[in-house]
Structures are given as structure tokens and as C-alpha cells.
Chains A and B, each alone.
Chain A
């Protein structure tokens, strides 16, 4: 059946069984591969997107439940003129990624956190950033989030 929703501001329609996870609708049906498959059980966060502004692990959300909703993926963070989102820029400035595979999800989680609380504290970062990074980029993730929210001085010297 056809399921209509919007992705990064554009209306889309996918021909899929409603139980298909949003992740696979994005990747296999819409060809948007910036959102990653990591575990399939919402444990790692590599598939994180925003659905109506809420941080969501798309591997465990049936696309049928997304009908009529608005999805934002890593590809949709840039401004229309191509300018990077401040969190993406902070990720480059802090040289966060190593293998990079989890970073789409990490960035989507960080953007959601900043949209929610403005300038997160260390404790709020601890609580919100639950995505897995096997390369161990966590210190630079923390540094980038603090830098993106103007708390760069607090992150001075962080690895």
C-alpha cells in the first residue's frame, strides 16, 4: 500500500507494507542512505531521525505509523543554500568522526537535544546521548555539542 509522509520538507510516498520500519523505507525505497542500520532493535541509535521533531530510532518505527508525519534525516539538516547545521559544523571543527558510521545518528541526537534544552549541561548530555560509538569518539562528541551551543570554553582542551 502507498504510505505518504514528508522527508526533509518534501512529500514522499512509498509502496510498502505498513510494518516496514521507517529505516528501510528510507534506505531501500527512497534511496536515502545517510540513516544507518546498526542493530535493528533500537539499541544503538545509528538509525536516529526526527519524526515531527521528536528523536526516533527509525529501525523500530513501522512506516505505517509515519503516514502524514514529517521526517527529518541527516540529509535534511543543511540549510537550503547548503550551509551546514551548526552541529554538523561543530562535528567537523572538533574532528569527531573516525569510521563515521554512527555519526548520522549521533548528530541527529545532538540536534534534538539542543533544540529541546538549548545549551545542555554535561549531565544532560550524559542522559540524552545514548547512541553507541564503537570507535570511542565520545569525548569529541561532548566537546562538539558544547562548542555548538557556545559552551566552547568549557570544552577547551577536551580530547
Chain B
């Protein structure tokens, strides 16, 4: 691991032949599955031992009157503690939570803690932390702090600063932030002991002050910082016990919110420079297509248009402002090729997936245990089968892609919001033909991400890198919403066939054969305790680019499994809650979560006329979430969720106030996707274009209140940004089945209701 191997990034192909099963796609998705667990598991921060890295971190974050401790934090003379987050906060609240974790161990005065985005520099990358921590963490590896599966993937992620897979808190927070806070606190105590001439054991810390109670003397952290910074920091300091926490687990207001209510927060799309121009783009309507011909004159005739730039698969118009650029672009009639993808359609993809599942000699990946076939063939077994389908989903981050670039004196400088600052630099350097040292990236606030901002799948980086080198001024490229919808890196279109055997009301075996680009084995655990289970993955890649979408494969795997569990409960004549409960280990966390959501939602109590109730439980990113939704039908026959409950075991909710919002938001995004969202294909091109035909759930159709409850199990800290989403779609489908008797096996619901 000390070798820091270059990451094996698979860039999305721009030249895709006609849709067919492809191993290439599988390889990429293995990386993405890694993103969820591992690359996302970026643990970053402190380089305890390497003096050159220490100097680099000091140069980057230290300064007049400020002492840097590793690459994680500084203490200023006025006691201000600044915590540098290597993770991006795109609304999930991880910056505040990371600050809480460090400040608690440090015993810092929270009112004097600032949280900043770490610069895009190797001093903040995974490798830095790994070098500092891994040698001392063998015990914790063994104890399961980091899953075994993660370790093998870590080497790839070393040079990255990725945020994803609900990893910020689970890894960076637990490993880097808490330890740094504790180690620096120990150094401050040691410094104070020397200065006061008293034993360390007689000193206490609180609110950024070291106090010697016997003498009544005290020293502020700001006074001690310079001396403490010269001391060596323990890489394995004593951490607080849960009982000692003052900030962790407390509902603390987020630091980023005030600037988000008065218009002062500057997102990537808001960034501006003197003499900056604004550009917008049209890409080949069919993925894999190319720009064949273009007459630039109509755009150049539009007032305010300054330049037309042709890319192999796109055309960019540069103008005085966005509107001028858009008018110029609209005036063009580019001719595009379709890359041989003219026969690709939504129906064709489903048909090809079904054919692959039925005819493939063997699956590409598999998981499970026990002899499923023997159980299916056993005498007296009751067999149940069902097939499910889910569409491509668009991320629909509210801020469309925007990235500003300025190429000057051999250096390309970028400003924008992307999930991994370091690989943004790498990708831009490659596209611009520059050394990575000559690319500077300034990360900015992001208007949502949901998995769309992983740099390796973000074309705007390449586009701006190329564009900026062709113009003498700074230029901001903005994607229109239409381009955003039609050129996504979608949650894959996926389909599955499930089969199970029941004996005396108990499942004896279950099999899921699923077809999609990426493999979910090793990522989405099968939680039920049954004698035999099997999941078989068949890899299928269409001409689209698939990517991680909030909670990644847990969305569709959760929908398949939890819809089918209700169908099995029905076949067994059992209550859906009791049926699940009977298949979850007694005394285990899953059963506790399920029981609590049943209790809080009043499962089994009578419902008002016209209301149906559904339940589902999914584990993802080390967090277990069970949800109950109650659904009614509106006058037009479309469903509306009237009440929603979520019970969560994420070990510890670092900031319950924010964690509640993440779970509720995940549940609502899950309902939104299940209700009406789908990206469909016709002649190889995406049909949908904007929020007019890609409907996002609105306030009136969202549950007025989401009852979120956390079970403080003390288990290892799980993710919070993603796990609220997966149970929502099966809970909705199960509630609708309970209400109407009609089982929804193809999402989204609205197309089924209208069909």
C-alpha cells in the first residue's frame, strides 16, 4: 500500500458500438462498486510521519499565527480551530459532522471551530492517511472497523479524494478526525504540563483551554499551539468513550445553512471572473454518436456570440453571457451520427436483458450460500416466481453542471463542484495535455450530486479543459437542463427474475437472477436468514453510461428483494411484517429495526378507508433502514403517500438533526423515483428532456411529515446520506398492492397505473 499505485480508472467510452453485452462495462462497474464501498471509503488526512508532507500541509493550510497539525487542522493564536475536510459537502452535512467529531475529541470550543474545504492536493489524499494510520490499525481491521473487502480495493483509491458511498463519516470521521482531535489534545496537554511544570495527569481540557485545577492556572489552546505543533503526535491516541462525548451524537445546526438562505452561498455555477465569458453545449443526441458536420455561421450571427468550438461529439458556443450562448447554440443545426445505436430502445434493452438471463452459459458474478436447486426440487416445496424491471434514473441535481476554466501562462485553473478534487485535476490534465502540476482545481459548493459528480464520469471536465485552451479569457461552461437529462450517467436500467421455495410458510431457498451493467455482490448484503440463497449477476451494457446513483445498487436490489418478500408473504398467507421478522435472526439488529418501525407506525392497527400500508427493510453502507409508508389514491387515481416512517440503525448518528434530514430526504427521493421517474430510449437517444417530462416529486405529493427514529446500537458507524432511499420504492409498491390488490413489478408506478 505504501507504493501508491496509480488508480485503475476506467474512463467512460465515448465510442460505443451498438448495444450488446460487454465485459468492458462490467469492469467499469466493478470500479464503481468500489466507489461505493471503498474509493468512497476514502480515508484521508493526516500524514503523521513524513516530514515533506508535513511541510506541504503547513504551506497549504498553515500561515501567520496559525499552526497546522498534519493536513487536518490548524489552531490560530486566537484559539480558532479550523478543520479541513477532504470530502466535498454537496448538501449531506458531512462538513459539520466531521468538525463535530474532531472538535469533540479535541475538547475545542465549538463556537470557535471553523470548517473548510481542503485544497485539492495529495497531502489530503488517501495515501497520506494510510501511511499514517494503517500500520497502527491492524487491530481495528481485525475488529471489522473497515470491512475486509475494502482493504483490497484501497490501493486503487490511494491517490484520490473521493466523496461517496456515505463514506465521509464512516471512514474519514472515525479514523482521521477523531484520532487527530485526540492526538492534538494530548500534545496540547503535554505542552501545558511542561509550561506549567505540573504532571499531565493533573490537567483537564474543555472549551479550548487546558486547566490545572490545583493552581487555578490555565492556558488557551492558541497559546499552546506553537509548542504543541513541535511535538510528535500519537497515531493511536486514546479516544473518548461514548459517555464522554459532548458534540458527537448531538443535534448541532449545520454551519453552511445561513449562506444558503440569503443568496450569498457561491456555487460553481455562480462563480465569475473579470472578462469571463459563458458557454453552453450540445452533445450528440445518441450516446456514441459524433458531430458529422456543422455550419457555424448562424451562431456567429447572434449578437453576443463570440466563438463556436467543435468537439468530436459536441458543439460549444461561447458568448457574452449564458443567454447569448444559448441563442447561438439554438441557431445551429449540427448533423450527428448515431454510432450504430439506432436500434437501441427501452423495450429492446429489456428484451436483450431477458434473453441474456435465459441464454447465458453462466453468470458474470454470483453470491449466496446453500443448495438452492435442491430446495427448489424438494418434495412439498411451494414455488413462487416473479420478474421485476426498473428504468434508467437521472440524478437531477438541481444545479446543472457548470465549470469555469482559465488557461494562462501554461497553467489551467478550474473552479466548480466535483466529488473528487484530485482526480478532477488528473482528468483535466489528461484532456488538456498538461502535467497535473499545471492544473489547479478550486472546489466549490455543489447544488446536489447524488453520485453524478464523480470526476471519472464527468465530461464537462474534459470539455472545459479543451475549451479553455482555445480562448484567451476565462470561460464558464454551463450545461442546459436538457443536456443534463439526456447525457446522464444513469442508475442502470435493470431487470430481475426471482424464485423462491416455501415450506410450511418458511422460505427454504431464494434466487435472484439480475441483469444490469454492474455487479451488486459484495455491495448489497442479503439480510435474511434462510437455508439457501443465491444471487446471479448477468452483465449487460447498453449504449448509455451507467453510474452510481444515490445508494447505488441498493435501490434496485432492494426493490426486487423487498417486493418479492411481500409476494412470498402473500403466498404463505402471512402478514408482511411478521413474515420478514420470522426470517431475521432473533436478537439481531435487523429484527430490532423492523420491530421498531412496526411499533412506531402502528402496524396491524386499522387504517382509514382508502389507505394501504407497506413495509420494507434494506441494509446499505453499513446502515439498516426499515420504512413503512401509507398510501392513498388521489382523484386522478395516482398514489400519494400520506404518512411515512423510517427506523435507522447506523450505529451512532453523529448529528441527529442532520441525519434525520438525510433519511427523510432519501425516503422522499426514493418515492420520487418510484412514482414517476424514468429515462427512456428511442433510436438510441434519450426521450426525456427536462422536469416537464422527468417529474420530480413535489411538496404536495411528499409525505407532510417523515417520522425518523434512530436506534443507538453503538455498532460501527454506518452511512447516512444514502441508506434512507432503498426501502422507499418497495414500501410504496407493497402499500399499493395492499390497497389495490395490484402488484407493481415495473417502475415507475405512474406509468403502470396509467397503463
**Interface contact A134-B397, CB-CB below 8 Å:** yes
- Check: A56 CB closer than 8 A to any chain B CB: no
- Check: B5 CB closer than 8 A to any chain A CB: no
Q: A31-B272, A134-B398, A137-B661 are in contact. Are A98 and B92 (CB under 8 A)?
A: yes
Q: Which of B102-110, B143-151, B260-268 interfaces with chain A?
A: B260-268
**Interface contact A138-B668, CB-CB below 8 Å:** yes
Cβ–Cβ < 8 Å partners of A43 in chain B: 690-692
Cβ–Cβ < 8 Å partners of B699 in chain A: 125-126, 129-131, 133, 138, 141-142
**Interface contact A91-B261, CB-CB below 8 Å:** yes
- Check: B702 CB closer than 8 A to any chain A CB: yes
Q: How far is the CA of A78 from the CA of B80 in the complex (A)?
A: 29
**Interface contact A157-B700, CB-CB below 8 Å:** no
Q: How far is the CA of A68 from the CA of B487 in the complex (A)?
A: 40
Q: How far is the CA of A135 from the CA of B697 in the complex (A)?
A: 11
Overall SS of chain A's interface: loop
Q: Which residue of chain A has the shortest Cβ distance to B323 in the bound complex? A: A24
Whole-angstrom distance from the CB of B612 to the nearest CB of chain A? Answer: 21
Q: Which residue of chain A has the shortest Cβ distance to B263 in the bound complex? A: A34
Option from A46, A92, A104, A138 in Cβ contact (under 8 Å) with B253: A92
Q: How far is the CA of A21 from the CA of B321 in the complex (A)?
A: 11
Q: Which residue of chain B has the shortest Cβ distance to A31 in the bound complex? A: B272
- Check: A107 CB closer than 8 A to any chain B CB: yes
Per-residue contact bits, chain A 17-42, to B (CB 8 Å; 1 contact, 0 not): 10011001001110111111111110
- Check: B399 CB closer than 8 A to any chain A CB: yes
**Interface contact B262-A84, CB-CB below 8 Å:** yes
Cβ–Cβ < 8 Å partners of B664 in chain A: 136, 139-140, 159
- Check: A95 CB closer than 8 A to any chain B CB: yes
Q: How far is the CA of A41 from the CA of B482 in the complex (A)?
A: 10
Whole-angstrom distance from the CB of B625 to the nearest CB of chain A? Answer: 14
**Interface contact A101-B399, CB-CB below 8 Å:** yes
Per-residue contact bits, chain A 80-107, to B (CB 8 Å; 1 contact, 0 not): 0000100010011001111111111001
Cβ–Cβ < 8 Å partners of B658 in chain A: 95
**Interface contact A95-B254, CB-CB below 8 Å:** yes
**Interface contact A137-B705, CB-CB below 8 Å:** no
- Check: B285 CB closer than 8 A to any chain A CB: no
**Interface contact A44-B691, CB-CB below 8 Å:** yes
Overall SS of chain B's interface: loop
Cβ–Cβ < 8 Å partners of B92 in chain A: 98
**Interface contact A159-B705, CB-CB below 8 Å:** yes
Q: A91-B261, A97-B257, A97-B260 are in contact. Are A46 and B323 (CB under 8 A)?
A: no
- Check: A77 CB closer than 8 A to any chain B CB: yes
- Check: B518 CB closer than 8 A to any chain A CB: no
- Check: A2 CB closer than 8 A to any chain B CB: no
Query: How many chain A residues touch B (Cβ–Cβ < 8 Å)?
Result: 63
Cβ–Cβ < 8 Å partners of B90 in chain A: 99
Q: Which residue of chain A has the shortest Cβ distance to B399 in the bound complex? A: A101
Cβ–Cβ < 8 Å partners of A88 in chain B: 261-262
Per-residue contact bits, chain B 86-97, to A (CB 8 Å; 1 contact, 0 not): 000011110000
Option from B91, B690, B705 in Cβ contact (under 8 Å) with A157: B705
Cβ–Cβ < 8 Å partners of A84 in chain B: 261-262
Per-residue contact bits, chain B 575-594, to A (CB 8 Å; 1 contact, 0 not): 00000000000000000000
Whole-angstrom distance from the CB of B77 to the nearest CB of chain A? Answer: 29
Per-residue contact bits, chain B 656-681, to A (CB 8 Å; 1 contact, 0 not): 01101110111111001000000000
Option from B262, B703, B704, B708 in Cβ contact (under 8 Å) with A78: B262
**Interface contact B447-A99, CB-CB below 8 Å:** yes
Which of B261, B662, B666 has the largest number of chain A CB atoms within 10 A?
B261
Cβ–Cβ < 8 Å partners of A129 in chain B: 698-700
- Check: A74 CB closer than 8 A to any chain B CB: yes
Cβ–Cβ < 8 Å partners of A77 in chain B: 262
Cβ–Cβ < 8 Å partners of B735 in chain A: none
Q: How far is the CA of A147 from the CA of B708 in the complex (A)?
A: 20
Question: Which range holds the interface residue count of chain B?
Answer: 35 or more
**Interface contact B704-A158, CB-CB below 8 Å:** yes
Within 8 A of B (CB), among A116-159: 122, 125-127, 129-142, 157-159
Q: How far is the CA of A101 from the CA of B254 in the complex (A)?
A: 15
Whole-angstrom distance from the CB of A72 to the nearest CB of chain B? Answer: 11
Q: How far is the CA of A42 from the CA of B671 in the complex (A)?
A: 23
Within 8 A of A (CB), among B184-241: none
Cβ–Cβ < 8 Å partners of B446 in chain A: 99
- Check: B696 CB closer than 8 A to any chain A CB: yes
- Check: A75 CB closer than 8 A to any chain B CB: yes
**Interface contact B698-A159, CB-CB below 8 Å:** no
Q: A37-B322, A38-B398, A73-B263 are in contact. Are A132 and B696 (CB under 8 A)?
A: yes
**Interface contact B480-A40, CB-CB below 8 Å:** yes
Q: A100-B257, A107-B261 are in contact. Are A24 and B700 (CB under 8 A)?
A: no
- Check: B706 CB closer than 8 A to any chain A CB: yes
Q: How far is the CA of A100 from the CA of B270 in the complex (A)?
A: 13
Whole-angstrom distance from the CB of B734 to the nearest CB of chain A? Answer: 20
Q: A34-B262, A99-B91 are in contact. Are A159 and B706 (CB under 8 A)?
A: yes
Q: How far is the CA of A44 from the CA of B254 in the complex (A)?
A: 25
Q: How far is the CA of A17 from the CA of B702 in the complex (A)?
A: 40
Q: How far is the CA of A139 from the CA of B31 in the complex (A)?
A: 36
Cβ–Cβ < 8 Å partners of A31 in chain B: 272
Cβ–Cβ < 8 Å partners of B279 in chain A: none
Within 8 A of A (CB), among B261-286: 261-267, 269-270, 272, 278
Within 8 A of A (CB), among B681-715: 690-692, 696-700, 702-708
Option from A32, A134, A140, A142 in Cβ contact (under 8 Å) with B448: A134
- Check: B84 CB closer than 8 A to any chain A CB: no
Q: How far is the CA of A28 from the CA of B326 in the complex (A)?
A: 13
- Check: B27 CB closer than 8 A to any chain A CB: no
Cβ–Cβ < 8 Å partners of A137 in chain B: 661, 665
Q: How far is the CA of A125 from the CA of B262 in the complex (A)?
A: 21
Q: How far is the CA of A157 from the CA of B660 in the complex (A)?
A: 12
- Check: B63 CB closer than 8 A to any chain A CB: no
Option from B321, B400, B672, B702 in Cβ contact (under 8 Å) with A24: B321
**Interface contact B400-A100, CB-CB below 8 Å:** no
Q: A101-B267, A134-B398, A135-B448 are in contact. Are A159 and B661 (CB under 8 A)?
A: yes
Option from A17, A92, A132 in Cβ contact (under 8 Å) with B398: A132
Q: How far is the CA of A58 from the CA of B706 in the complex (A)?
A: 32
- Check: B364 CB closer than 8 A to any chain A CB: no
**Interface contact B660-A159, CB-CB below 8 Å:** yes
**Interface contact A100-B665, CB-CB below 8 Å:** no
Option from A28, A39, A138 in Cβ contact (under 8 Å) with B702: A138
Q: How far is the CA of A104 from the CA of B260 in the complex (A)?
A: 7
**Interface contact A75-B263, CB-CB below 8 Å:** yes
Q: Which residue of chain B has the shortest Cβ distance to A63 in the bound complex? A: B323
Whole-angstrom distance from the CB of B253 to the nearest CB of chain A? Answer: 6
Q: How far is the CA of A134 from the CA of B666 in the complex (A)?
A: 10
Whole-angstrom distance from the CB of B213 to the nearest CB of chain A? Answer: 37
Q: How far is the CA of A75 from the CA of B708 in the complex (A)?
A: 33
Option from B91, B258, B690, B698 in Cβ contact (under 8 Å) with A135: B91
**Interface contact A100-B91, CB-CB below 8 Å:** yes
Per-residue contact bits, chain B 244-255, to A (CB 8 Å; 1 contact, 0 not): 000000000110
- Check: B303 CB closer than 8 A to any chain A CB: yes
**Interface contact B480-A44, CB-CB below 8 Å:** no
Q: How far is the CA of A130 from the CA of B700 in the complex (A)?
A: 8
Cβ–Cβ < 8 Å partners of A107 in chain B: 261
**Interface contact A37-B269, CB-CB below 8 Å:** yes
Whole-angstrom distance from the CB of A61 to the nearest CB of chain B? Answer: 12
Interface residues of B (CB under 8 A from A): 90-93, 253-254, 256-267, 269-270, 272, 278, 303-304, 320-323, 396-400, 445-450, 478, 480-481, 657-658, 660-662, 664-669, 672, 690-692, 696-700, 702-708
Complex A-B, nearest 4 residue pairs according to Cβ-Cβ distance, in ascending order: A34-B263, A101-B447, A99-B91, A136-B668
- Apart from A44-B691, A99-B91, list 5 A-B contacts with CB within 8 A: A24-B321, A32-B263, A100-B257, A135-B398, A139-B703
